[in-house]
Amino acid sequence: PRPRRRRSRRAKGKGPRAKEPRKTGEFKVCVCGGAGGIGQPLCLLMAMDPNVKELCVFDLNVAMVPAQGVATDLGHLEKKAAVKGYVMEVGQKPVDNLEECLTGCHLVLIPAGMPRKPGQTRDDLFKINADIAKGIVEACAKYCPDAMLGMIVNPVNSVVPAMAELYKKKGLDPMKIVGITTLDVVRANKFVVRLPAPPDRVNVPVIGGHAGTTILPLFSQDKHAKTIDAEKIPDLDKHVQDAGTDVVNAKNGKGSATLSMAYAGARLGKSVLAGLAGQRRTECAYCKSEITDLPYFAQKVVFGKEGISKVLPLGELNEYETKRLEEVKVQLKGEIESGLKYAEENS
């Protein structure tokens, strides 16, 4: 007998099987410094995230373009997000101006601040940028205390401890504040170049901090990267550490990493929102920590419905990484202390 042929759904006149629609979040996101070099492409990428229902672009009246302009422009994307711009005059306080902008926010991304110029370290920017961050963080504490705050503004190693301690003093959860170190992970993945594995299949955790020697990529923990010859690792490690400075020099006084940073910031931001929507995501981020003897550390965290739902252990380190970790700790300790001192003197 001829084998019975199964009739397709189409032959039965049924059309393709309806897929279970994936539930998306309905989140409100604000980008502070949203009209700047990082801010604009970051707003673009966040406006494309199906989890974003409302996007607020906040910047000063002296920004490169008005925040309303960025918002009107992005408001024409055929995406769900409604986009609104908020402008504040220089010298005014966010807490007096951002009630509507921040109320109801689930995620606030903060690239507001001065970028590095050639010859400047991230630390040179500390006082100026910490004051900018403080104004914004205080407004978040008042209008959206449950939101996750992603700090892009440098120096992340000192700004984050300063802001998290200010949150703690207000009785808020310091784990709501994370420093975005995702660009180090993105760079490490890209620099590994392990064909046929494309860079987005490589996942090198980068721990420690977000400046110079404090950046510690754990190449041994990725299945592609761990096949690299041991003698090539120090150069690769250094390449990741110096990559930000390479961009500063290549831009020749006209800014630091903006596009790759926006990509990395959006990766982290989207992971936070996916977590809030119930799809857990693991990322490295710089925040309050108990996994080493340092109180702040870039570590593997799991984003869930409440923000950070879990901090993962360091995992196994090889001999080179173990030695580097000691170097990281010495440098990072001082940078954390600058942040703690700022919080002490400015609360």
Residues that bind ligand NAI (CB under 6 A): 32-33, 35-39, 58-60, 62-64, 111-116, 129, 132, 135, 152-154, 156, 180, 183, 210, 255-258, 261
Residue number with the shortest CB distance to ligand NAI? Answer: 36
What's the min distance (Å) between Cβ of 113 and ligand NAI? 3
Which two structure tokens, joined as six digits, stand for 254? 């006209």
Q: Which residue, 24 or 97, has its beta carbon nearer to ligand NAI?
A: 97
Q: Which residue, 220 or 299, has its beta carbon nearer to ligand NAI?
A: 299
Q: Which residue, 86 or 304, has its beta carbon nearer to ligand NAI?
A: 86
What's the min distance (Å) between Cβ of 278 and ligand NAI? 27
Contact between residue 217 and residue 204 where contact means Cβ atoms under 8 Å apart: yes
Residue for token pair 């400046």? 211
Q: Which residue, 129 or 299, has its beta carbon nearer to ligand NAI?
A: 129
Q: Where are the beta strands (DSSP E) in the chain?
A: 27-32, 52-60, 82-88, 107-110, 148-151, 177-179, 206-208, 215-217, 281-288, 296-304, 307-311
Residue 19 amino acid letter: K
What's the min distance (Å) between Cβ of 70 and ligand NAI? 10
Is the peptide bond preceding residue 196 cis, with omega within 30 degrees of 0? Answer: yes
What's the min distance (Å) between Cβ of 63 and ligand NAI? 4
Residues 6+ apart with CB under 8 A from 159: 126, 129, 130, 133, 151, 153, 179, 339
Closest CA to 324 of 246, 240, 243: 240
Enzyme catalytic residues: 210
Residue 110 DSSP SS3: strand
